[in-house]
Structure 1
């Protein structure tokens, strides 16, 4: 669905000035895409992806050194932006047995809370996963798009919400062990972290940092038709497409259970999933920061914030 009309929110949004072709270093990338926005710090958005996809984090595998470093980094980012912990601490530890190797894994979700001003007992979960697949055959799988991009994006959304308090309470959820079977999201629900009836929706971000066709998908509106007004007649940035599908009702790959929104859907909690179609570097050691597309990425986060604003206006 590609629709464009003006909305007041986009008066505040993004003006891009691209200066030459994208280079591979962070410094050059940040210099070449100037982003002026009152919504979030676009430079910080990129810097977080850069850090989370460093070789030294060894692919952020759950329970391993790099995964622990990533977890601590996300906690510190929550603190930096004044995001309160949802629980007594920012982390929600859990353990599980691997399906294939029968190994016991120790994971931990990172959970923050922004209290709502009008419906504080109804929660919108905004999620991404900070883990990736680690090191395989001596090669580091850095997972810049999958899903360092989503992890950084939920922090950008939180940054916006701290300055623009939401009506519903918002849980900022950086889930662990998505790559091992959506375990972090499943634990969040199984532990009754928030009673099911108080969760209005999960908005999940997984792979939102690059697309050669400037196309972002939103999945869920064909299954939960009450959410369709959130994307109908939505103003989009220039040269940006927001498409629907991949919901099991068309001839495209079914993404309904492909990421952390899956456990929510299984419990009949509505969801919106934002992501791009698989690119050539998906689950490969070449999913590196240098291939993140700063202009597309910032536009994607801006659109996600616009959709959130509409969701927040709904009564659940």
Structure 2
């Protein structure tokens, strides 16, 4: 295993990244976006904000443009989903790619109540954007693809569309880092799932756990976890798992506001979320540093 080194974040840049990420969560979870249901006007507003941020950061389109449209059929109802996919080219010679995903859709409006989804998953999108900003300022060794995917709440439709028609061959994707629900945990904990399926990740995540400002635990990815406590197929990394692509899922355990209309920006613990964003950046940069060795151990 290659050594994983700290990314060198100082308190100043980390604080600034956390503040910007909080602004992104606030915008994406405002009532005006009406819960960001896939195919809705609120979803279009969310896409406009994410695309604006992609442009500000300096991402390049991973396809011909940033948008990857796909069809959604729900019984007799047809909708259009849209993934937003940008990239930063690596500075090294390796052709291996890191894909960072976070879904931007949520549950919309139900029985007159708006499900704003501040934690689920405006928080993950905001952290994805923070990671993109970090790599834009200090370019990665490997190409990093940033996919804000749609229709996760309808059965991982957006990540399924990405995996079915990726911008690079699947064999080049060494790892998917999926971000889903990062902002609310009273214990100051984030879980990293995936090590049960990919044991070579265990020492790497253990090393990174010593560098991050939250308690980073491993689990929720196989025995002894059962039912919904096993997250293997419960978010967008499931599409990569089914395609044989290694993955790590960062997220918090369920909380009382999960899939409730109370999952609003006002209930986001700001100090913990800022630390979670810093953790995502450190983990993403650590994976980039070690991606070739990881790909070799995974047989990719």
RMSD: 1.7
Instruction: Figure out how many residues of one structure are paired with residues of the other and give that number.
Output: 286
Where do 5+ consecutive residues of structure 2 fail to align?
296-300
Which residue matches 1:164? 138
User: How far 1:233 moved relative to its partner?
Assistant: 2.9
Where do 5+ consecutive residues of structure 1 fail to align?
1-5, 15-35
Q: Which moved more, 1:283-292 or 1:193-202?
A: 193-202
Q: Cα 1:38–1:145, aligned 2, differ >3 Å: closer, same or farther? A: closer
Which residue matches 2:57? 81
Note the alpha carbon deviations across 1:229-253, whole angstroms, 9 max, x for none: 3212332455x31111110222351
Aligned: 1:264 with 2:240: yes
Q: 1:247 aligns with which of 191, 216, 221?
A: 221
Q: 2:122 aligns with which of 148, 153, 160?
A: 148
Q: Cα 1:130–1:8, aligned 2, differ >3 Å: closer, same or farther? A: closer
Give the TM-score, by structure 2 length.
Answer: 0.91
Q: Cα 1:312–1:286, aligned 2, differ >3 Å: closer, same or farther? A: same
Which residue matches 1:133? 107
Note the alpha carbon deviations across 1:132-166, whole angstroms, 9 max, x for none: 01000000000000000000110000000011111
User: How far 1:182 moved relative to its partner?
Assistant: 0.2
CA distance in 1, matches of 2:186, 2:14: 26
Q: Is the 8 A contact 2:124 2:182 kept in 1?
A: yes
Q: Cα 1:308–1:192, aligned 2, differ >3 Å: closer, same or farther? A: closer
Q: Is the 8 A contact 2:17 2:278 kept in 1?
A: no
Query: Which secondary structure state, in structure 1, belongs to the residue aligned with residue 144 of structure 2?
Result: strand
User: How far 1:212 moved relative to its partner?
Assistant: 0.7
Which residue matches 1:291? 267
Runs of 4+ in 1 over 6 A off after TM superposition: none
User: How far 1:8 moved relative to its partner?
Assistant: 4.5
Query: Which secondary structure state, in structure 2, belongs to the residue aligned with residue 231 of structure 1?
Result: helix
Greater percentage in helix: 2
CA distance in 2, matches of 1:209, 1:237: 15
Which residue matches 2:10? 13
CA distance in 2, matches of 1:80, 1:107: 24
Aligned: 1:224 with 2:198: yes
CA distance in 1, matches of 2:26, 2:67: 23
CA distance in 2, matches of 1:302, 1:210: 15
Q: Cα 1:227–1:251, aligned 2, differ >3 Å: closer, same or farther? A: closer
